[in-house]
Amino acid sequence: IEGIEPLHHYRPEGFHPAYIGEEFCDGRYRIVHKLGYGTTSTVWLAADNAEGKWVALKILMAFASKDSRESEALHALQAGNPKHMGRTFVTTFLDEFFIDGPNGRHRCLVSEPACPSIEVAVHEAYLGVNKARSIAAQALLALSYIHSCGVVHGDLHTGNILYHDPKSAGGGIAIDKLYERVGEPELVPVLENGEQPVVKSLPRFWVHDTCFCGFEGVKLLQVQIHDFGASSLVGNQNTRSLAPMVLRPPEVMFDEEITQASDMWTFGCTMYEILGRWCLFEGEGMFQLRDTDNDDILVQMVECFGKLPERWMERWEEKDNWFLPNGEWRTGKMTKHRKYLPKPFRTFSERFAEMLDRYNRDEGVIEAEEAACLEKLLRAMFALEPAERITAEEAVNSEWMQRWGLPA
């Protein structure tokens, strides 16, 4: 069923078969609705009966619960400087506990609720320049805070930047009022051969997601970075990326460590997408499907930013399809995405100019002076060598951020 987690993920070591009304921690948390799901977790809206507020309850797959890196990152973020400019734009971690269910032992992480992500708004023209600029600036401040805590996010994209209304979590936990606002849970029976299965590992019902907050009528958006499932502390980084292929930095394509510098590249792609409503690098398909191969993305990186460092060129098995032994481009070669593009070769400057011209905004435009500063900032994020990339703190102090991004 579209928009609902796959049933086969409910198995030993997989998802916990949570249900509306299920309680945890001696009745403190009670599930009232569903917020969504991810690769290794389901996320539920729950009533915190001890604090009298709504919370987001993330229940990890049992196998994923054995990895403590997300928990370590969240604890580090919670212990960071509360006066940092970016603190308010990062999810607030509230609690952690374990539950035992038919599919194993699951780690549960409690945080402030926030949704939806900005992804739909970015691509469907809900944002004018002013809102897009503000969201990009808030996200950069958030990343600066995350890095100040010694954390690598590892999966920065528009789907993990969520709209946040600080007032929505408080004001009591009257379920009838909640359902008036967001609707009652829509339950879909889980059936096998027309009957509900008796297997304990499966839920009795699927639950459709709800939108706890909305964009409608909002003049000033506040966002938060969420989902630290791919995060780690500096010194204990991952090498396997969960980020969409079109957002991965070159070092990750060659199985090098995911670092804070890697975050900066991915954030550059995300910032470009927020302001331009389109990905910098194209995958296959007119709707920017993010599933494509490394080679297509690497070729576009070379188009935009020049030849890759030699250590990567030596490891790039397919490079001879596009490059002569002397490093020059072959003629007449096309990557898979080319059939969807009007031009065979586009530099970063050309893509950036197209990004600025692509759509007329309802609220303002990016003038030439701002565009020059923005391009300079993005290029600093897209240095091919990780060590040469701008840091998040340096980006916050950039001319674009100081003149056009702040106050966020």
- Which pLDDT belongs to residue 166? 74
C-alpha separations of 408 from 133, 217, 396 in Å: 8, 19, 11
CATH number at residue 47: 3.30.200.20
In the chain, how many domains are there?
1
| Mean per-residue pLDDT over the chain, rounded | 88
26 lies in some domain: yes
Residue 341 scores a pLDDT above 50: no
Alpha helices by DSSP H, listed for 39-190, are 69-78, 119-123, 129-148, 175-182
Give CA–CA dist 33/343, Å, rounded. Answer: 47
Residues annotated in a binding site for ATP:
58
104: domain range? Answer: 1-82+92-112+170-211
Would residue 144 count as lying in a domain? Answer: no
pTM above 0.85, yes or no: yes
Residues 95-108, mean pLDDT to the nearest whole number: 98
pLDDT in tens, 342-374: 455 789 999 999 888 775 565 678 899 999 999
Q: How confident is the model at residue 332, as a pLDDT?
A: 61
Least confident of 149-158, 248-257, 324-333, 350-359: 324-333
In this prediction, residue 220 has a pLDDT band, given cuts at 50, 70 and 90, of low
The larger pLDDT score, comparing residue 192 to residue 346, is at 346
**Poorest-pLDDT segment among 25-29, 115-119, 304-308:** 115-119
Task: Name the helix (H) or strand (E) containing 55.
Answer: strand 53-60
Q: Would 346 be classed as within a structural domain? A: no
Confidence band for 336, pLDDT divided at 50, 70 and 90: low
Binding residues: 58
| pLDDT value for 290 | 47
Residue 333 domain flag: no
Per-residue model confidence (pLDDT) at position 324: 83
**SS3 of 104, please?**
strand
Structure tokens at 84: 């940092």
pLDDT, tens only, 193-212: 777 777 899 999 999 998 87
Whether residue 145 is contained in a domain is answered as no
Specify if 394 maps to a domain.
no
Higher pLDDT, 320 or 144: 144
% of the chain exceeding 70 in pLDDT: 89
Residue 354 lies in a domain: no
Q: 111: which residues sit within 8 A by CB, 6+ positions away?
A: 55, 56, 58, 74, 91, 92, 93, 94, 226
Q: Is 44 a member of any domain?
A: yes
